[in-house]
Amino acid sequence: MRKIYIAAFLSIIAVGSIQATTYRLFVHGRSGSSHCTTISSTASATNDYNNYWGGAVQGLQNVRYVGFDGTQSGGAYSWNTCGAQRQLYNAMNVFCKYPNDCEVYTHSTGGLVGSYFVRYYSPASYGWRVTRMQLLASAAGGSELADFSTSYLAWLGFDTLGGQLDQSVSTGGARSWDHNSANGLTLYTTSGEGTDYLYVTSPLLPGKDDGVLANHSLCNINSVKSVGVSCTRGNARLTESYGCGFLWLSTCYNYYYRWTPYYTVWQGGGGESHGAAKYDYNRR
- Predicted TM-score (pTM) of this structure: 0.90
In a domain, 154, yes or no: yes
Percent of the chain's residues with pLDDT above 90: 78
Dihedral sign for Cα atoms in the order 112, 115, 119, 123:
positive
Q: What are phi and psi of 169, to 5 degrees?
A: -100, 10
In a domain, 129, yes or no: yes
Q: Write the pLDDT tens digit of every residue in 58-88.
A: 999 999 999 999 999 999 999 999 999 999 9
Q: Write the pLDDT tens digit of every residue in 86-131.
A: 999 999 999 999 999 999 999 999 999 999 999 999 999 999 999 9
Structural domains in the chain (count)? 1
In a domain, 12, yes or no: no
In a domain, 3, yes or no: no
In a domain, 9, yes or no: no
In a domain, 176, yes or no: yes
Q: Show the beta-strand stretches assigned E in 40-140.
A: 63-66, 101-107, 130-136
Q: What are phi and psi of 267, to 5 degrees?
A: -125, 115
Position 174 scores a pLDDT of: 98
Dihedral sign for Cα atoms in the order 215, 260, 266, 75:
negative
Q: Write the pLDDT tens digit of every residue in 136-173.
A: 999 999 999 999 888 755 444 444 544 789 999 999 99
Instruction: Give the Cα separation of 30 and 32 in Å (integer).
Output: 7
For residue 251, give its domain range.
21-282
Q: What is the CATH number of the domain that holds 56?
A: 3.40.50
In a domain, 192, yes or no: yes
